[in-house]
Structure 1
Amino acid sequence: MTEDHEAIIPVWTLATGDVRVPAVAGDGQMTAERLTELRGVLAGLADRPIATLEVHPLPGALDRGRGLPLDAASPLAQHLSQLITRSAKSSPAAATATAAGEGLYRMVVPAKFAAQFGQGIVSPMVAKGVAGGVRGPLMNGGRIVGGVAYVPVGGATAAGAVGGAGATAGVAVGGSAALTVAAPLVLMAVAVGVSAHADQKRQQAIEHITGLLEQLHEEKLDDEHSELDGCRDAIDKATAILLDQGKLGASLGLDSAVHAINSALGAADRRLARWQGALDKLPEGKAVEIATLTKSFPGVDDEGGTFRAHLELAALAIALKQRVIVLQAVEHAQSDPDNLFENFSRALKADHQRLETLETNIAGVLERLSALELARPQSLRPVFTTGEVDRLMRAANRIRKLGDGVMVDNRKTDVAIEIARAKDGSVVVFPALPAQS
């Protein structure tokens, strides 16, 4: 996204509760670098989660299909509209930027607080062997670009509550005048952004596994895939109901979907244990024959193969479970009017630890495999055919590339959630991604 160098961008500092911090923001214009520094300082001083919210012009070409749409009556859209309306009354910059009714709103949650809702759910997409691995949806890969000036918006409130919870909002007591308490807005933006991120990962897993299973023609794996993919309908309906401030019921089928997902995660755990055991039995520091490797990792030397299908089934189960965790966390937070964000982040962290461990251990298996040296197959013949040499080289290359998709950067990062608002007040929330300053 390219900004006009003369553009003035309003920025709100939102808190999820009353916090006391020095008035460090000031009232003048800021550069993008200064905004990043300010966010870090406020995060360090505040004991409750905070976020910043910027409004940018809406890009002309925008693929809304990658996000989750919410109508104007949804809690997130309403809280955003309230913030806009109240801010416009007291801030000329906010009034000008929001006058058209549409815009791209970019919420950034500092790393300190992003970690509270499961850092691994939205992790830096830096992969070995992938140039420019960090990717973002709209704003140039998540970066703040151009020479725009950011102006703090102060004195605005965003009254209201999410899910019937009585979380009224106002200017934080004893803090900067630009610090606005808006727990429901932050909660809903984070919830939808994280859910959209997990669904994006689900779609990627589906694309990969469909091609693999078409090659394999294995009914058992096909059944696993069908059962997992069949969970999507219940999860989508539950997401729509919760994010529209409804209550979940047994008729949705979410319980059976959760059971299927948990069963798939159990299968992934068992397969992982077998893979780790097989690698532990390999002679350390010695080359391994392909035939030995394919006994425990069938098809590892091919583009497809059962092993790679098992990897994609695990990825699909993890992505679906991440969406369920978000739903459970939102429902839990909505049940406690006075403890929205804390309940939300606590519920996310508790269940996410298992997924994080599973992902980390699978990544460890792939790294160990990619580091193996392949031995020449034993043969009575002193000379190998050209075909045998080619197969060995192809297999070595494919196995080495297994480590290319492994996440190698697990440092904490700010998380950006971008929200496209239409003139009718409806919004599309894009997948939460690591923010780059």
Structure 2
Amino acid sequence: MIDYRKATVPVWTLATGDVRVPALAGDGPMTAERLAELRSVLAALADEPIATLEVHPLPEKLDSGRGIPLDAASPLAQHLSQLITQSARSSSTAAKATAAGEGLYRMVVPAKVAAQLGQGIVRPMAAKGAAGGIRGAFVNSTTGRIAAGATFVPAGQAAAAGAVGGAGATAGVAVGGSAALTVAAPLVLMAIAVGMSAHADSKRQQAIEHITELLEQLHEQKLEDEHSELDGCRDAIDKATAILLDQGKLGVSLGLDSAVHAINTALGAADRRLARWQSALDKLPDGEAVEIGTLTKSFPGVDDHGGTFRTHLELAALAIALKRRVNVLQAVEHAQSDPGNLFESFVRALKRDQQRLDELESSIAGVLERLSALELARPNGLRPVFTTGEVDRLMSAAHRIRKLGDGVSANSRTTDLAIEIARDKDGSVVVFPALPASA
């Protein structure tokens, strides 16, 4: 068990371009709170995105299956190795922390950069067995905090020298301000890209699990076909991800075009269903209770544990998760084709499609909130008294419908984005799903 209360953690300040900022970090130790303040100030003062990178001991138990593995020859792994090697030459703290070759690295990107990359990427991803919780590699199971008591020390005055594998801008010390500010656009870009791709794939896995359970109850062939077509896109996306992150070129033989067509078709279906749901809600009388029979005509199965409506919701979530992963691939490809404008190209390419997905997710969340706020009326009938079964069904339906709003994010404020990277002794890495840094 790692005792983070006694840990001294090296931290690098990484820029994505040549920037001039005041020398704020200094050479002395910092608390986690002070580091968070430093990130906020740097984000406000710098013209280019500023990230921080910490290195922690590798935990004994680590679920590598949640992340995306990259071998030591991949650009991300090489950029990270180069930063470690150069920093260790001038910093005893960095040399000691990285001497074993393995470690758990945590990159934090400021909120204003995360906002450019799409709100949907940085929303919390609930973990099994922890209602509303997130479980990252650094989360202490007892305190729920990430390395809460660590002391952070700037990792020397040296920067990584030269770009690796032609991934873009040359790394080095920033031209002005603090000498500890490292220009490392390729490292930041690749970490964000892989972390976001892993996050989107985790969302895909969650949706697949839910859809499979719902379809087992429904036995609806048409919905099963929709599910199969979407799930069949994963192979092409996985291969394209591996090729791009190793800086290869995408070819027609991968089948990515067919996968994108299937995803866009599913998104179109989600848009049409969303319009029908919104229209049905608009037709309900304001401030009046609604009979369950009226509601189930437009939202079949909404009063039950499964149902067509809930399957439609999960199919939409699956299509959105797959599309987000494709968007990251397209952004990486665009950025790598324009190495002189690495990070800005990445952000611009990603932002365009993310906005549409954010709007779709937000609109679906609005439907769920409106449904959860409805009051159910007792059924109309000639009998003045209802059976116990009818009363139980009405109460159960009301409970399930109210719970529709539980999973809706009430606060869409963007937080700092954290990407955790496990590095093995051979230089290979596993990048875990991006998550809010405050988790």
TM-score by length of 1: 0.97
Residue equivalent to 2:68: 68
Letter in 1 for 2:139: N
Residue equivalent to 2:225: 223
1:312 pairs, out of 297, 304, 314, with: 314
Alpha-carbon offset, residue 126 of structure 1: 8.5
Alpha-carbon offset, residue 166 of structure 1: 4.0
Distance change in 2, residues 1:137/1:147 (3 Å): closer
Residue equivalent to 1:185: 187
Alpha-carbon offset, residue 50 of structure 1: 1.1
Residue equivalent to 2:355: 353
1:238 pairs, out of 226, 237, 240, with: 240
> Any idea what the Cα deviations from partners look like across 1:287-333, whole Å, max 9, x if unmatched?
00011000000010000000000000000000000000000000000
Letter in 1 for 2:173: V
Which aligned pairs between 1:28-427 and structure 2 lie closer than 5 A? 28-124=28-124, 133-140=132-139, 143-161=145-163, 164-427=166-429
Letter in 2 for 1:66: R
Alpha-carbon offset, residue 47 of structure 1: 0.8
Following the alignment from structure 2 to structure 1, what is the Cα–Cα distance between the partners of residues 279 and 348? 34
> Any idea what the Cα deviations from partners look like across 1:35-74, whole Å, max 9, x if unmatched?
1111111111111111000000000001100000001111
Following the alignment from structure 1 to structure 2, what is the Cα–Cα distance between the partners of residues 132 and 46? 38
Distance change in 2, residues 1:280/1:131 (3 Å): farther
Following the alignment from structure 1 to structure 2, what is the Cα–Cα distance between the partners of residues 118 and 402? 24
Following the alignment from structure 1 to structure 2, what is the Cα–Cα distance between the partners of residues 179 and 196? 28
Work out whether residues 196 and 430 of structure 1, in 8 Å CA contact, stay in contact via their aligned partners in 2. Answer: yes
Alpha-carbon offset, residue 116 of structure 1: 1.7
Could you list the runs of 5+ residues in structure 2 that have no partner in the other structure? none
> Any idea what the Cα deviations from partners look like across 1:236-288, whole Å, max 9, x if unmatched?
00000000110100000000000000000000000000000000000110000
Following the alignment from structure 1 to structure 2, what is the Cα–Cα distance between the partners of residues 268 and 146? 42
Distance change in 2, residues 1:166/1:298 (3 Å): closer
Letter in 1 for 2:289: A
Tell me which moved more, 153-162 or 30-39.
Answer: 153-162
2:340 match: secondary structure:
coil
Following the alignment from structure 2 to structure 1, what is the Cα–Cα distance between the partners of residues 336 and 174? 22
Alpha-carbon offset, residue 163 of structure 1: 6.3
Work out whether residues 118 and 352 of structure 1, in 8 Å CA contact, stay in contact via their aligned partners in 2. Answer: yes
Distance change in 2, residues 1:159/1:91 (3 Å): same
RMSD of the alignment, in Å? Answer: 1.7
Following the alignment from structure 2 to structure 1, what is the Cα–Cα distance between the partners of residues 369 and 2? 38
Following the alignment from structure 1 to structure 2, what is the Cα–Cα distance between the partners of residues 211 and 347? 36
Alpha-carbon offset, residue 395 of structure 1: 0.5
Following the alignment from structure 1 to structure 2, what is the Cα–Cα distance between the partners of residues 273 and 160? 52
Work out whether residues 14 and 50 of structure 2, in 8 Å CA contact, stay in contact via their aligned partners in 1. Answer: yes
Following the alignment from structure 1 to structure 2, what is the Cα–Cα distance between the partners of residues 427 and 311? 34
Following the alignment from structure 2 to structure 1, what is the Cα–Cα distance between the partners of residues 187 and 150? 25
Tell me which moved more, 368-377 or 155-164.
Answer: 155-164
Identity %: 81
Letter in 2 for 1:94: A
Following the alignment from structure 1 to structure 2, what is the Cα–Cα distance between the partners of residues 246 and 373? 56
Following the alignment from structure 2 to structure 1, what is the Cα–Cα distance between the partners of residues 131 and 137? 15
Alpha-carbon offset, residue 164 of structure 1: 2.8
Work out whether residues 78 and 164 of structure 2, in 8 Å CA contact, stay in contact via their aligned partners in 1. Answer: no
Work out whether residues 2 and 145 of structure 1, in 8 Å CA contact, stay in contact via their aligned partners in 2. Answer: no
> Any idea what the Cα deviations from partners look like across 1:126-164, whole Å, max 9, x if unmatched?
99xx98634131222784334321111232222344663
Work out whether residues 334 and 349 of structure 2, in 8 Å CA contact, stay in contact via their aligned partners in 1. Answer: yes
TM-score by length of 2: 0.96
Letter in 2 for 1:164: G
1:405 match: secondary structure:
coil
Following the alignment from structure 1 to structure 2, what is the Cα–Cα distance between the partners of residues 38 and 236? 37
Following the alignment from structure 1 to structure 2, what is the Cα–Cα distance between the partners of residues 257 and 161? 33
Work out whether residues 94 and 156 of structure 2, in 8 Å CA contact, stay in contact via their aligned partners in 1. Answer: no
Tell me which moved more, 148-157 or 223-232.
Answer: 148-157
Letter in 1 for 2:135: G
1:176 match: secondary structure:
coil
Distance change in 2, residues 1:174/1:414 (3 Å): same
Following the alignment from structure 1 to structure 2, what is the Cα–Cα distance between the partners of residues 424 and 85? 14
Alpha-carbon offset, residue 5 of structure 1: 2.8
Could you list the runs of 5+ residues in structure 1 that have no partner in the other structure? none
Following the alignment from structure 1 to structure 2, what is the Cα–Cα distance between the partners of residues 300 and 260? 27
Following the alignment from structure 1 to structure 2, what is the Cα–Cα distance between the partners of residues 299 and 394? 13
